[in-house]
Amino acid sequence: MEELGPGLYETLVSEGLKIQLDQLAERFPTEQRGIRAAEASDRIAWHLSRQIERALADVRDDERVQVGLSVARALLDRLGELVELDESAVPVEPATVLHAILRRRPDGSPDAFSEPLIPLLDTTLLTNAPGEPSLWNQLRSEIHSADAVDVVMAFIRRSGIAPLLDSLERHCDMGKPLRVLTTTYTGSTERRALDQLVDLGAEVRISYDLSTTRLHAKAWIFHRRSGFSTAYVGSSNLTHSAQVTGLEWNVRASAARNPDVLAKFGAVFDSYWAAGDFLAYDPEQFEDERRRAGLADSGPQVILSPIELRPLPFQERLLELLELSRQGGHHRNLLVAATGTGKTVMAAVDYGRLRQQLERSRLLFIAHREEILDQSVGTFRYALREASFGEKWVGRSRPARFDHVFASIQSINASGLDALAADHFDVVIVDEFHHAAAASYERVLRRLAPVELLGLTATPERSDGLPVLQWFDDRIAAELRLWDAIDQQYLAPFLYFGIHDGLACAKFLGGGAVGTTSKRSAVRTRAPTRGLGS
């Protein structure tokens, strides 16, 4: 037992401690009081937990689990003899810890939660020191398993939320609440950062009071129905330096260890949220209040961004035909466009517009070859200007989020369709739709019930005569045939060279290929398209 000296204590007096206090009585007076009923359960349980922890720490590693389990069962048995006890609280043998209860992904596989490096039971201090988890990494890992997230932050900047956007977007897409409280204090909060949060689905409220309120708190609360909520409070605002590189101190608290602290976190946040000092975010009001406070920018804001993809006039005309078809009540549409006229580009632009209209915009893009999927992912990322847009579902590549999926028809069928909800995807795009007469495509198309179905093909007429237009009410929504594209000079015309040698075969000239044909043989060449190719 540690040597005692003058100071403050909150220790239950044990037999050993009483002997020490008696020995100190002549030198140091003590203050002792009885335990109050309101604190008895906490003080006594804390004392017991420390004694159990110390005792088990001295047990050999290979025996500690079994001895600890025996101690727990014996203590609970004895406790049940003295007071009313829930017998279901007795731990099972062998000692086991429930780590998670998982949801299933659309392909039936378990959807594992991202696990924070700091266990949910632990209360600890983060300082962004080398070798320890950064606050940014911890926040990312906490968001995934949270049922609701509350943020109170004095300053919010785009550099601070950028690393968290993917995690926050997934959180909001799953219908989970995200509430944010912030201020215009010192003019550090950026409007574009707030716009990004609102676009994700967050509720944002702002205090414009720069005289009395002056909110300076920085805290995150991760609510979990499991009871293992966590919270962070400290010095880090939502800026890049504060989250990653700054000399910041942030305490992580655990509801399992500190239930009263977490309860106060939630209660205080709710009181701020309901207070009249915090107003629902309105972009125009935000700018007006900044100007009134003398915080407006002194000059125009310059934004550096990639070159925007713009459809060519003929592509825009086809997109307009698709939109007219939808306005006419048709939500199963086929786009027929010659190879090289940019079907995938048009599909990407069309999807970008659709997700501005739909409440939810989960995408499934289906093709039959991985090369097509790779090209399509690149096109969509360029068109939407989102470098990380889309996940592949082909071969060994499996999506983690199943929000924007580029899948091979073989992989979808191989995984089975039982776990895939019919309405999981809101927009389904099928490339090379003339393959849809195959049984593999038919199974998937009959299973899915998207808000919008778009088929892409250059040749809807199959050589075997099997139909595909029945998926679109026997109609084509928009088309640009090969001969029309050539006539309108969107594609270069074919050039034919023939050699007559008196036999039933001829050599193709150009490209070095040899084939068999009639008395006239030809080589077809085509220059690059004038527009954006698929």
Q: Would you state the CATH architecture of domain 313-487?
A: 3-Layer(aba) Sandwich (3.40)
Q: What is the pLDDT of residues 200-237, one digit of tens each?
A: 999 999 988 766 556 788 999 999 999 999 999 998 87
Same fold, 114-292 and 313-487: no
- CA 145 to chain CA centroid, Å, is 11
* Alpha carbon distance, N-terminus to C-terminus of the chain: 77
Would you tell me the crossing angle of helices 283-292 and 191-200 to the nearest 10 degrees? 160
Cα–Cα distance for residue pair 183/185, rounded to 1 Å:
5
Q: Parallel, antiparallel, or unpaired: how do β-strands 148-153 and 218-223 relate?
A: antiparallel
Find out whether 365 and 376 touch, Cβ atoms under 8 Å: yes
Distance of alpha carbon 215 from alpha carbon 275, whole angstroms: 13
Domains of the chain: which residue ranges?
114-292, 313-487, 493-534
Return the half-sphere exposure (C-beta side, CA atoms, 13 A cut-off) of residue 441: 19
CATH number for the 114-292 domain, one of 1.20.120.790, 3.30.870.10, 2.60.120.260, 3.30.930.10?
3.30.870.10
pLDDT tens, residue order, the chain (534 aa): 567 888 888 899 999 999 999 988 888 998 999 999 999 998 999 899 999 999 999 999 999 999 999 999 999 999 888 998 888 888 998 989 898 898 898 888 998 888 888 899 999 998 878 877 788 889 999 999 999 999 999 888 888 888 899 999 999 999 999 999 998 876 778 888 999 999 999 999 998 876 655 678 899 999 999 999 999 999 887 776 666 666 789 999 999 999 999 999 999 999 999 988 899 999 989 888 876 765 554 332 323 245 677 888 899 999 999 999 999 999 999 999 988 888 999 999 999 999 999 999 999 999 999 999 999 998 998 888 887 788 899 887 888 778 999 999 999 999 888 888 999 999 999 999 999 889 999 999 999 999 999 999 998 888 777 888 999 989 999 998 887 777 777 778 878 788 877 775 544 444 433 333 343 344 444 444 444 444
Q: What is the pLDDT of residue 25?
A: 86
Q: Is the pTM of this model over 0.85?
A: no
Tell me: the pLDDT tens digits for 257-273? Answer: 999 999 999 999 999 99
Q: Which residue has the tokens 């713009």?
A: 310
Contact 249, 234 (CB under 8 A): yes
If DSSP codes are grouped into helix, strand and coil, which group holds residue 473? coil
CA 113 from chain centre, in angstroms, equals 11
The residues that bridge with 455 in the sheet, in sequence order, are 334, 430
Q: How far apart are CA 64 and CA 479, in angstroms?
A: 73
pLDDT of residue 232: 95
